[in-house]
Each structure stands twice: as structure tokens, then as C-alpha cells.
Structure 1
Amino acid sequence: MTGPESELVRAAGCVLWRRSPVDDSLEICLVHRPKYDDWSHPKGKLKRGEEALEGALREVEEETGHTCAPGPRLPSVSYFTGGRPKVVHYWAAEATAGHFTPNREVDRILWLSAAAARSRVTQHPGPHPDRRVSRAARLPALTDGGPPRPGASAHRPDVTHCTRCADSAVIRP
């Protein structure tokens, strides 16, 4: 198949996390898209010529109102939508500042524990569970090390020596 209907759709997003202001526990942000009535990680299509990480950070800010400090890259997700192949590249990212304002694309966000986020995220068709939350949730258990990235908290997780995360599966419907 050739033509626009077979072109790869490129997208990017983040598993956005923060420390709870109440008890310092890990919270994962999910966005609700009224058009699809689903819960997902903030993500979206890349603009022409846009790098994946640049697009992921833009989408997080557009959908959640939050800026973030990118962390490690997470597994990409590949699937078909509307008869076209799509790949979504993900990063773990710490929310650094911002405030959510409902918009046309996203009408609400939730900050949930990792377990609640895994249960709430809408699954793509297929037999594999969403492992992005599992992988990102493991990050705080690792020891901190090195200076934080600009804008990130001093207590951000260090994943530079994370081997336990490498075995995480991804959705491949």
C-alpha cells in the first residue's frame, strides 16, 4: 500500500510524574480526552520536522499546562489507527511547574498513584498491559545520583544504572 493512508504517524508523549504535595509519594498524570472518552498519558502527533522529545514536551504543556524536566526514554508503542501505522515515543518526565486549564482536547487531568494510573489508563486493543506506568513507577525506588537537570527537583530518580527497567513490555497490538 502506498500513499498518505500508509504513511507512518509519528507521535510523542511523557509519563508525567510528580511527588505528592501531601505525602511525597509518586503520582502519575493522566489526561482525559472527551473526543475519545479515554484516559491516557499526555501525547500527540509531531509537527513536520519536529524532534520526538521536543514534541513530547510541547504536548505535555499543551495538554496539562505543566512544564517538565525530561528523564529517561521509555519504550515506544507501535500500532495501527485508521489503517495507518503509528509509533508513539515516550519519556518519563517530572512536572516542574504549571496549572491545568481545561481545553478542547483535554477536559481534565488526574494525579494518581502508579497502581491507580495503571488501572485507569485506557488500553489499546491487544493482549499486553500498559507497562509504561510500571516502568516509570520503578524510577523513584532507585538511588539519586548526580546533579538534577535544570528545572528538576533535587530528589528526582536516577535511572542511569537501571537494568531492572529494561525488561518492561510495551503494547504492540
Structure 2
Amino acid sequence: MGRKRRPTAAGAVVLQGQGEDAQVLVIHRPRYDDWSLPKGKLEPDEDAQVAAVREVEEETGLKVRLRVPLGRAEYIAKGAPKSVLWWVGTVVGGRIHPPVTTTKTNGKSNGKGKNGDVEVDRVEWWTPKQAAAKLSYTDDREMVERALATVPGHTVLLVRHAKAVQRKHWSGKDWKRPLSQRGRRQARRLAKLLEAYGVTQPITSSSTRCVQTLQPFAERTGLELVTMDELSEEVFEDDPGVSKRAMVDLLNQAHTQPGAPMAICGHRPLLPMMRGLLGLGDKPMLVGETLVVHHDDQGNQVAVERIPSAF
């Protein structure tokens, strides 16, 4: 089977409440006179996860974080294949704003209609029954059904540090080896990705290359990085048990705080141990790569997303 094409759009099924109290966020677009879920096109060089969060905020005014992935919807529009990636979304801020009008950026249309058109004129919370009956598209109704079947749990993001200066080109102590220019670029892009998942616990090895990998995220969000010597190569080489116990403690902490997604940045020698404790396979991680591991409320793994760096 060939590699799936890059998605053209991304969106989120935004939920609030559970069980009989559950509600789904929907939008009305007067241009099409339809009721649908918030979604939109990816910008050039943008991760789908970041696009999903951005589009929800642009169309509704609500800031969300992503939870479990719901899969891909594919269809034909105006004779061209379209592909949309979906996630469950949880509101973390913002407020529903007045109707959204189409604007131009740098003199160019954003592609959603003529300049000044009303893109979204109504944003509402519907019950699952309303969504099943009134959403205009089959794909949207299917995604809502999938989202309602998910069980909220905790999320852990395992990050391999971005590209560092090569050892042969560094004369100082290895733990002080910094990121390369490419690595700094990877770290800046990673910051938006971690924010899309609502990471509130950024944790890293105390080595410079790991700290610098998460530093742009910390600066973007105002969160404080937690640095741990126990996750460094030096401590792991001296006593692997120390590093393993530290990782176990972190995963237990993540499980007890489902509303606080955790990102852990580590090194190649430790990654097999880290992946093993997360119940992942043996496939090596590339520099700047992130594995997003989703769990249910019992701690069972329900989904894993592999997100390689674009650079």
C-alpha cells in the first residue's frame, strides 16, 4: 500500500460534559447553508494537529487541546480528492465570538470565500441526538459517534531531542552539547505541536540538547521546564535502574493527572527503556520525533501517534 497523501484539512470534534450531559460544538456556514464541525485547510508547512487547533479557534473563538485521534475522512470535492484528519477536542480557554468574516492576508484571500463574506454565522453546543439528526454530512456524524465512544484518560508525549551538534565537532563535555541550526528549527516547530496537545508538564533530561528542545515551548507557554539528571545519558550509563525508576514515577504521575498532558524529552540510549515502559515497539525514533500515547481512565493504551519532524 502506498503512503497516504498529506491531509488537506484538519478538525476536531469538540466535546464538553459526559454521558447524558455530553454536548458537541457545531458551526453554521451561510455560504453552504450547512451545519458541520469546525475544520479547515492546513497552512503551508503546518502540522495537522496545529491546524486543527487553529481552525477551531478561528471559527468558534474557543481554544482547545487535542485528545484521541479519530482517523481520516476522504471525499471528492470539485473533482479533487480531499482528506481531513480528526481529533477529539477539549476546551481549555477562549469564548464563542461573533460571526466570523473572511479576510485577506497580505492582499491574498484565505481561500474560504470572498473578502468580507460571513464564514461562520452561528456556533452552538448540540446534544449527541441533535448532532446525529442535524449535521449535514455523514462523515461529521460518524466522527461525532467515534468521539462519544472514547473514554477520557491521560496523554504522554515522548520526544527524542532535536538534532544536536555532532560529537566530533564538539570539544566540551557531552552533556553540554547544544542543538544545531537544524535542531533549533525543529524545536521551534515542536513548540506548536506540544501546545496543540495542551502539554502542561514539560519534563526533560538535564542535558543541554534536551533542554533546548523543549525551551521554545516553555517560552511560548510560560511553563517552567522540569529538568532531571536521572534522564541523562550519564546517569543511565552509570545506573540504568535510577533512570528506569524515575521514568516509572513520571508515568504514574501522568496517570493520576489526566487533565495535565506530559511531555518527556530523552536521549537515544534511554529511549528503548522509555518506549518499553509506555508499551511501544522497538522501532528507533528519529531526532525531533514525537510519539503521542493516549490512555483511557484505567491507564490502558488506546492510541499512539507517531509524528516525525518535518525538518
In the alignment, is the contact (CA less than 8 A) between 1:8 and 1:84 conserved in 2?
A: no
Question: Which of 97, 109, 120 pairs up with 2:123?
Answer: 109
In the alignment, is the contact (CA less than 8 A) between 1:15 and 1:133 conserved in 2?
A: yes
How many angstroms does 1:42 deviate by?
Answer: 0.3
Matching of residue 37 in structure 1 with residue 33 in structure 2: yes
Greater C-alpha Rg:
2
Q: Secondary structure at the match of 2:40?
A: strand
How many angstroms does 1:25 deviate by?
Answer: 1.3
The amino acid of 2:60's aligned partner reads: T
Please list the CA deviations of residues 145-173 of structure 1 after superposition, one character each: whole Å capped at 9, or x if unmatched: 6223448xxxxx9377477x9xxxxxxxx
In the alignment, is the contact (CA less than 8 A) between 2:60 and 2:96 conserved in 1?
A: yes
The amino acid of 2:258's aligned partner reads: P
In the alignment, is the contact (CA less than 8 A) between 2:131 and 2:141 conserved in 1?
A: no
How many angstroms does 1:19 deviate by?
Answer: 2.2
**Identity between Structure 1 and Structure 2 (%):** 33
Distance in 2 of aligned mates of 1:8 and 1:46: 10
Distance in 2 of aligned mates of 1:55 and 1:129: 18
In the alignment, is the contact (CA less than 8 A) between 1:29 and 1:111 conserved in 2?
A: yes
Aligned residues: 146
Q: TM-score, normalised by structure 1?
A: 0.73
Question: Which of 137, 141, 154 pairs up with 2:148?
Answer: 137
Please list the CA deviations of residues 72-113 of structure 1 after superposition, one character each: whole Å capped at 9, or x if unmatched: 100210001011110000000111222112212111111011
Mark the CA change 1:80 to 1:68 in structure 2 (over 3 Å): closer, same or farther: same
Q: Of the two structures, which has the highest relative contact order with CA contacts closer than 8 Å and spacing of 6 or more?
A: 1
- Which is helix-richer, 1 or 2? 2
Distance in 1 of aligned mates of 2:90 and 2:129: 18
Report what 1:15 is aligned to: 13
The amino acid of 1:90's aligned partner reads: W
RMSD: 2.9
- Equivalent positions of 1:1-173 (< 5 A) are 10-19=8-17, 25-101=21-97, 102-104=99-101, 105-123=119-137, 130-139=141-150, 142=151, 144=153, 146=255, 147-150=257-260, 158=296, 161=300
The amino acid of 1:132's aligned partner reads: M
In the alignment, is the contact (CA less than 8 A) between 1:17 and 1:28 conserved in 2?
A: yes
How many angstroms does 1:115 deviate by?
Answer: 1.8
Unaligned stretches of 5+ residues in structure 1:
1-6, 152-156, 166-173
Distance in 2 of aligned mates of 1:36 and 1:158: 37
